[in-house]
Amino acid sequence: MSSKLFTAFALMTLVLLSWGLYEAMIGAPTEATMGAVQRIFYYHVPCAWVMFLCFPANFLASIAYLAKRNAAMDAFAVSTAEVGLVFCTIVLLTGPIWGKPVWGIWWTWDARLTSTLVLWLIYVSYLMLRKFSIGGPNPVLAASLAIFGCIDAVFVWGAIRWFRTQHPQPVFGGGANSGIDPRMMHAFFVNMAAFTALGILLVWLRYTLERVHQRVEEAHAMKALGGAQ
């Protein structure tokens, strides 16, 4: 197997993450208006980015699975779903932690936050469907749900954008926007690279596990058939 490559990649990821942590906590200057809390930005946004890589990947993998019924596609689908959910959880937890001291509110029902929450709900229901299907995870049902869910996420974003304008919407900028210090951009990009690598690593890891699991299930099925003779 490509475990040497995996180990090398894992080490590189670790290095990037450590570097990212240093830059985020120490290397980048403290932001003028928000103070130290702003440093959450260096983790929050990269995690959101990874989530927005994973979920569309799951969407495409689900479509591909329904088209070709390829077990590898299903393994990839469940991996991207889980890893996406991990990062989605982090986004939903770190966001309010950043929001409260800076904007005074834990939460608001704007398009971005609500869509993220709904995506989280959809993917939790996706994993629950896999877990509670009779006879083991049913990849066809899960793939169908994923397709419904992702299309729905688009509708959620639109619905909030157009139908929730009664409340004043605090503007969540991408972070420090006025006169962005180049050292901040540097810290940001290092962490973007680090978390992307981490996302890839975790999907790779989970995918490998799923493939092995699939082979074990196959072996069990063979054994059952063989035993019957």
Partner 1 sequence: MTLAPSFASTLRNTLTKDLRLEWRSKDAINSMLFFALLVVVIFSFSFDLTAEESRRIAGGLIWVALLFAAVVALNQTWARELRNQVLDAYRIAPSPLEALFFAKVLGNFIFVSVLELLITPLFIVFYNLRSIGPSYELIIVSILGNWALVVNGTFFGAISIRTRSREVMLPLLLFPISIPAILAMVSATTATLTGEGSAYLPLVFLAVYDLVFTILGLFLFQTVLQAE
Partner 2 sequence: MRFLYAAYLITWGVIIAYIITVLMGFKKVSDEMKDLEKDKRL
Which of 57, 83, 153, 160 lies at the binding interface for partner 2 (CB under 8 A)? Answer: 83
169 touches, from partner 1, partner 2, none (C-beta below 5 to 8 Å by class): none
Which of 29, 35, 101, 158 lies at the binding interface for partner 1 (CB under 8 A)? Answer: 158
Which residues, 6 or more positions from 125, have their beta carbon under 8 angstroms from its beta carbon? Answer: 145, 149
CA dist., res. 83 & res. 61, Å (int): 14
Tokens 């704007």 locate to 110
Which of 2, 30, 70, 125 lies at the binding interface for partner 1 (CB under 8 A)? Answer: 125
Q: What angle do CA 214, 216, 222 make, to 5 degrees?
A: 105
**CA 109 vs CA 5, 119, 134, 148, 182: distances in Å:** 43, 14, 36, 22, 32
Site for partner 2 contains 101 (CB under 8 A): yes
Cβ pair 26, 175 in contact under 8 A: no
* Length of the chain counted residue by residue: 229
Residues 139-198 that bind partner 2 (CB under 8 A): 198
Least Å distance, CB 102 to partner 2, is 9
Instruction: Indicate the residue type of 80.
Output: T
Provide the token pair at 197: 């690598």
Site for partner 1 contains 60 (CB under 8 A): no
**Number of residues in contact with partner 1 under rule CB under 8 A:** 29
Least Å distance, CB 43 to partner 2, is 5
Q: Binding string, 82-121, against partner 1, x = CB under 8 A?
A: --------------------------------x---x--x
Report residue 113 CA to chain centroid gap: 14
Which residues form the interface with partner 1 (CB under 8 A)? 66, 114, 118, 121-122, 125, 128-129, 132-134, 138, 140-141, 144-145, 147-149, 151-152, 155-156, 158-160, 162-164
